[in-house]
Amino acid sequence: MTQAETNYPKQEPQKVTRNDLPLSCPRPGEALAGLHPRVYLPIEKTGSATCPYCGARYQLSD
Ligand SMILES: [Zn+2]
């Protein structure tokens, strides 16, 4: 776990695996469901992604 990203609210990235792809936010069944329209995040390109709607952070863990 790196603490390099300091310009963002203290929020742990949510770990996702390739089994979770394609990654969408809110994730199915998540408490955030209904917070905003579902958006697909291209996490496989960079290994991490931030939802443009709610700022949720995701990190690919494998
Ligand atoms: Zn979101």
* Spacing, Cα 13 to ligand 1 middle (Å): 12
Whether residue 36 has pLDDT greater than 80: yes
CA 23 to chain CA mean position, Å: 8
51 found inside a domain: yes
* Spacing, Cα 2 to ligand 1 middle (Å): 22
Whether residue 41 has pLDDT greater than 90: yes
13 found inside a domain: no
Strand partners of residue 59: 15, 48
pLDDT band of 4, cuts 50, 70, 90: low
* Spacing, Cα 54 to ligand 1 middle (Å): 4
28 found inside a domain: yes
54 found inside a domain: yes
Cβ-based neighbour number of residue 7 at 10 Å: 4
- Give the total number of structural domains in the chain: 1
24 found inside a domain: yes
Q: Is the pTM of this model over 0.75?
A: no
What single-letter DSSP state applies at residue 18? Answer: G
pLDDT band of 61, cuts 50, 70, 90: very high
47 found inside a domain: yes
11 found inside a domain: no
10 found inside a domain: no
The pLDDT score that the predictor gives to residue 3 is: 53
- Domain hosting 34: range is 18-60
Whether residue 28 has pLDDT greater than 70: yes
